[in-house]
Amino acid sequence: MRSTFLAFHTASRAMAASQANIDVTGNNISNVNTDGYTRQRVDLNSISLSGKQKYAVSGSRANVGIGVEVSNISQIRDPFLDARFRKQNAENGKYDTLLSGLSDLELVFDEIDVNGLQSELSSFINQLQTFSQTPTSKDIAMVVRTAAQKVTEILNVFAKQTQEVKDQQVFDLKNVVVDNSFNTTVKAIAELNTQIREELIHGNTPNELYDKRNTLIDNLSNMANIKVITTPEKVSENLTIENLSISIYDPATSTSIGVVKNGLYNTLSVNESGANVKIEINSCFGDFSDNDITQYISGGSIKGYLDLINGNGAYANTAAGENGFRGAMYYKNTMDTFAANFAQLMNDLNTDASGTVKPLFKATDGSGSITAGNIAISDEWLADSTFITTTLSTSTVETGSADNILRMISALKSDMKFYRNASDPLSQVMFEGTMAEYLTGFTGELALDIELNKNFSDTANSVLNNLYTSRESISGVNMDEEGINLMAYQKSYNAAARYFTVLDEAVDTIINNMGIVGR
């Protein structure tokens, strides 16, 4: 026969388990709107009389269990959904960044709301046509020069504003994303790792610290493609804890670069010294023969910024590892190609009777290489509006004829080859067509890039939202479910209390009503 008062321990444990369930349910309800909170549950274990579960054997006495015990307060999370959410979050961060940067470039090359380059080029051609009718008019020659000057000025503005967009992206990458967000986040995660370890060693359950850490890991996944790994560590005979490490992961090369390892962390820095911006790792742990990890950044907002800053499109040597995305560098070089070929064409056409070239355009920095940023009217044309040649030969053409002006108009409207190096016909041909087609194709490419990345961004956002919903259905707090649980645990608590009453009545019977026969 079991000890009489052993049943009271069973009832006491039942009430304690029910109370724990009620408390955890209340905690879940109170945190329904807490950002990053993970739904908690009570883990229960059945207790046998011997301390081990036994089964009845024929001919032997069956042991009755002595109740239940609370083994842990755990969080309800799905590691697989966490991994998928964070991977998708990196993709989402990349496309959101690209879309924002390309939209800034679109504002620079807006040909609809403002009179852009195509409008000024068309105006220049129209003024040349007017000049061809009265080639001896100095007034009209001045108007032609002014129209040409507007073309150079808008090219200068384009170059300046494109550089400003790039500089802004570099500033945001360095000061906002890397120095502030990324490095601050990995430091905070490492510190939380240390706190969680101490809590676990002291026998506590740091669920709130887990929530903070998971929120930070989610934020980190928006900046880079990361891999989160937990490894068990046996601290004592009865205690095993999990250590957490985080790596920047490149799926293309299966390369992992550690940024968090327990309480240690590595920071990143932006190197602007070369032609391209680089991401370098500052090592606190790990062995890095080369601290340049730019090529291993495969996702997140950091990748988006790198594409915008370093992306050189068709001008990139992809075989040498250069970035082939059409970013700010590509659109800058595209305008440089236009400016150089435009100037080369006009300068070559402006020759005197002896065949000597009389340059109409120059590079303001004296480099000799004309770009969108340095193109300007030549000093000679600026000093004399009639510097533009109207005829090629006074011996064969009537004086005052506009034959050379007509050649210029024809050349500006005809198909031509736009060389990467305008002064070298053997260099790479970047485009073949008219000036107007070049500019239309240029703005069309930018519009296509924006539309494409908008579609990518919308798709990434949609998938991310679906994953978030799936994760919340498991880890989030549902008020209806918690309300049902609360009623169930209240009933189990009342039943345990009733069990106490029954036991009390049984003990009363044993003490006061047994052994009184014959008195």
* Per-residue b or e along 473-500, where b marks 16 or more CB atoms closer than 10 Å to that residue's CB: eebebeeeebeebbeebeebbeebeebb
399, pLDDT greater than 70: no
- pLDDT exceeds cutoff 60 at 55: no
Q: Is pLDDT of 158 > 60?
A: yes
- Buried/exposed 156-169: b ≥16 CB within 10 Å, e otherwise: bebbeebeebbeeb
Quick check: 50 pLDDT over 70?
no
The answer to whether residues 131 and 405 touch, using CB atoms and an 8 Å cutoff, is yes
The pLDDT confidence band at residue 54, using thresholds 50, 70 and 90, is very low
Q: What is the pTM of this model?
A: 0.89
| Cα–Cα distance for residue pair 390/350, rounded to 1 Å | 8
Render pLDDT for 446-470 as a digit per residue (tens, 0 to 9).
999 999 999 999 999 999 999 999 9
CA distances from 20 to 33, 108, 501 (A): 22, 62, 21
Is residue 369 very low, low, confident or very high in pLDDT (cuts 50, 70, 90)? very high
pLDDT digits (tens, 9 = 90+) for 351-360: 887 778 899 9
Mean pLDDT of 326-334: 94
Residue 13 pLDDT > 70:
yes
- What are the structure tokens assigned to 306, written together? 């790198």
pLDDT at 142: 94
Higher pLDDT, 67 or 3: 67
The string of pLDDT tens digits covering residues 229-244 is 999 999 888 888 999 9
Average pLDDT, the chain: 90
User: Which tokens belong to 452?
Assistant: 């494409």
Q: What are phi and psi of 69, to 5 degrees?
A: -135, 150
φ, ψ dihedrals at 372, nearest 5°: -65, -30
What percent of the chain is predicted at pLDDT more than 70?
A: 93
Which range (25-34, 115-124, 224-233, 372-381) has the least confidence?
115-124
Distances from the Cα of 345 to the Cαs of 123, 142, 331, 415, 432, in angstroms? 18, 20, 21, 12, 14
pLDDT band with cut points at 50, 70 and 90 for residue 519: low
Amino acid in the structure at residue 364: T
How far is C-alpha 23 from the chain's CA centre? 40
- Whether residue 53 has pLDDT greater than 60: no
171-203 CB burial, b ≥16 within 10 A, e <16: ebbbeebbeebbbebbebbbebbeebbebbeee
State the average pLDDT over residues 358-386.
92
Amino acid of residue 304? G
Q: Which residues contact 464 (CB under 8 A, 6 or more apart)?
A: 85, 88, 89, 92
pLDDT at position 395 = 45
d(CA 422, CA 407): 19
Give the residue, 509 or 457, on which the prediction is more confident.
Answer: 457
The CA distances from residue 84 to 206, 225, 233, 328, 421, in Å, are 24, 11, 26, 31, 47
pLDDT, mean of residues 177-190:
96
Stretch 401-420: mean pLDDT: 91
Q: How far is CA 93 from CA 90, 96, 284, 301, 410, in A?
A: 5, 5, 27, 5, 48
Give the CA distances from residue 102 to residues 54, 137, 234, 261, 330, in Å, rounded to whole numbers and listed in that order. Answer: 69, 45, 51, 36, 12
Tokens of 428: 């790479």
CA nearest 260: which of 243, 241, 280? Answer: 243
Euclidean distance between CA atoms 468 and 85, whole angstroms: 7
User: Is residue 280 pLDDT above 70, yes or no?
Assistant: yes
pLDDT of the residue at 393:
54
